[in-house]
Chains A and B, each alone.
Chain A
Amino acid sequence: MRLRIPLLFILIAIVLGGLIHIMAVLALPSLAPKNAFARLKSLGEANVMIELPPVKPGEETMPMQAPDVRYAFCRYDLSAGPVRLSAVVPDDLWLIAFYTPKGDNFYAVSGADMRRGRVNMLINETGQPVPDLEGDAPEEEEVVVVESPLKEGIAMIRAPLSGASRSARTAEALKSANCAPFSR
């Protein structure tokens, strides 16, 4: 009979340990103070396009940033209405990806999926009415409506560098990327 008491405590420890395990795993995404969104948020205000500086040892915005990809991001805030994003996409390699503040990449489109040239996007909160876009862009350019599940998020443009000779052109194209509140 005396042996049963430690056994009971061991069982309790395992069950309790399991609960702590589950709570720790579920709580971590909300508790991590230096997630990517927090790092990017510290670089500037919302609804503007911000280019990340090329990586330098010890000065990266995020850990394990690609040294041969140029990044520009827009931290959008849809509380005052939709936000538009436009860019000139010079090649197939570009990727435009949309994230929730917790880093869920809910939408991504590559340069190969877009017709070359200017890309116009309207970021709209899911469930909110899409504004009338008639006549908003020249006829040959369609406006892609991106439904954001949350009011806040990140739109990240990745421009992989394909050799040093083309990096100047990529940098130039990235500067043309723009992010601003949508207004009629």
Chain B
Amino acid sequence: MRTIIFVVATFAAALFIGTGSAWYVIDHGTPLTTERIGPWASWTTEGNPLADPYTKAHLARSGRLPLTSTAARYFVARTDSDGYTLSADCEYAISGPSINARWWSLALYDDQGSVIDNPSQRYSFNSDELLRRADGTYRVNLSKNARPENWLPSGDDSGRNLVLMLRIYSPRVTDATGTGQVLPDRLPKIERKSCD
């Protein structure tokens, strides 16, 4: 009797360990697959035919079709720079210096990867349309209500979690493998200003 319990418990534990750990590394990534800079995470070999199995599994699950890391880099933030989950109930200032790339864009999504409805149909800001200050830096105001400078509306639904994606096409700095490099201090800071 004890043996049967042990066997069942062993299999249950194995299933839990196996699927749980697989889910975690595919969803969250590890330092081997995912670069983390402040709130930003980027799967470094996403889209690359030579990517590791974890990155390929992550990609298949995501439903996205990203460019390989030699053509573009994608950074995703689900929290602010202090580590708190991005929420439509809060107001944020996203600020940073210019990024050395041919084109880049900062877009806002809900946690399903869908853009958020708003009257001005503003879902993103890209490097060509962003209002910048004289020194080349910019500030995007992420909030429910209209704000000056660059206003990225977070919609009227309260309690919604937000996801930011920074896509950087043709970064001008690359490493030996041709993977685009974005210096950590070039990624914008996400500062929480206030919450409802």
Give the size of the chain B interface in residues (CB under 8 angstroms): 59
User: B136 to nearest A CB, angstroms?
Assistant: 17
Q: Which of A34, A68, A95 contacts B124 (CB 8 A)?
A: A68
User: A107 to nearest B CB, angstroms?
Assistant: 9
B158 within 8 A of partner (CB): no
Give the size of the chain A interface in residues (CB under 8 angstroms): 64
Q: Which of A139-173 contact B (CB under 8 A)?
A: 149, 154, 156, 158, 160-164
Q: When A13-B10, A16-B14, A95-B169 are in contact, do A68 and B60 touch as well, CB less than 8 Å?
A: no
Q: When A13-B14, A67-B123, A110-B170 are in contact, do A62 and B64 touch as well, CB less than 8 Å?
A: yes
Contacts of B63 in A (CB 8 A): 32, 34-36, 39, 62-63
Contacts of B84 in A (CB 8 A): none
The reply to whether B18 and A16 contact each other, CB–CB distance below 8 Å, is: yes
Chain A residue with the shortest CB-CB distance to B129:
A163
Contact flags B65-92 to A (C-beta < 8 A → 1, else 0)? 1111011100000000000000000000
Q: Which of A6, A10, A68 contacts B105 (CB 8 A)?
A: A68
Which DSSP category, helix, strand, loop or mixed, fits chain A's interface?
mixed
Determine the distance from Cα of A16 to Cα of B14 in the docked complex, in whole angstroms: 5
The reply to whether B60 and A63 contact each other, CB–CB distance below 8 Å, is: no
The reply to whether A105 and B18 contact each other, CB–CB distance below 8 Å, is: no
Contacts of A162 in B (CB 8 A): 103, 126, 128-129
Determine the distance from Cα of A40 to Cα of B63 in the docked complex, in whole angstroms: 10
Contacts of B23 in A (CB 8 A): 24
The reply to whether A17 and B6 contact each other, CB–CB distance below 8 Å, is: no
B21 within 8 A of partner (CB): yes
A3 within 8 A of partner (CB): no
- Please list the residues of chain A having a beta carbon within 8 angstroms of any beta carbon in chain B: 5-6, 9-10, 12-21, 23-26, 28-29, 31-32, 34-37, 39-40, 55-58, 60, 62-69, 92-93, 95, 97, 99-100, 102-106, 108, 110, 112, 149, 154, 156, 158, 160-164
